[in-house]
Amino acid sequence: MKVKLTVCTVPCGAEAYVSMAVPVGARDEAKEFYGMAHFLEHVLFKGTGRFPGVDDLHKTIIGHGGGMNAYTTHEVTNYHAHVPATVDAIRDAIRVVLSMTTEPLLSAEAVRREVEVVQQEIAKYKDIPDRTLYDR
């Protein structure tokens, strides 16, 4: 599996983006595990070896005035952060994204909490006909 880490700045140089693209998505899931890539995407935000608190990852990025998110498609799961284009902010964004993808805690508490969150998202998407058609 080839994982891709990308770091780039916007043309004006004020903001930088750090993105970790993992080539695993819904198409890689067995039917009985459908939704697992999306579920794992959620749980990886809930603490790592280097950032053990449930909000430590977000606090690190927000502390620089940035933001972070992730998404899962049929082909890829992408974890990304945007921060001011300073050395410290970019360094921390790289550390956060790498830590999420290499040393997640996967605590039982986080897993229990995120089950309900993902189930609610799936239910929401089922109410969107275009999305249901695309998934099928």
As annotated, the active-site residues are: 41, 114
d(CA 124, CA 51): 31
Question: Which two structure tokens, joined as six digits, stand for 111?
Answer: 């897993």
Amino acid at 102: T
Question: Which two structure tokens, joined as six digits, stand for 33?
Answer: 């595990």
Of 19, 22, 21, 23, which Cα lies nearest the Cα of 6? 19
On the 0-12 / 13-18 / 19+ scale of CB atoms within 10 A, 17 is middle
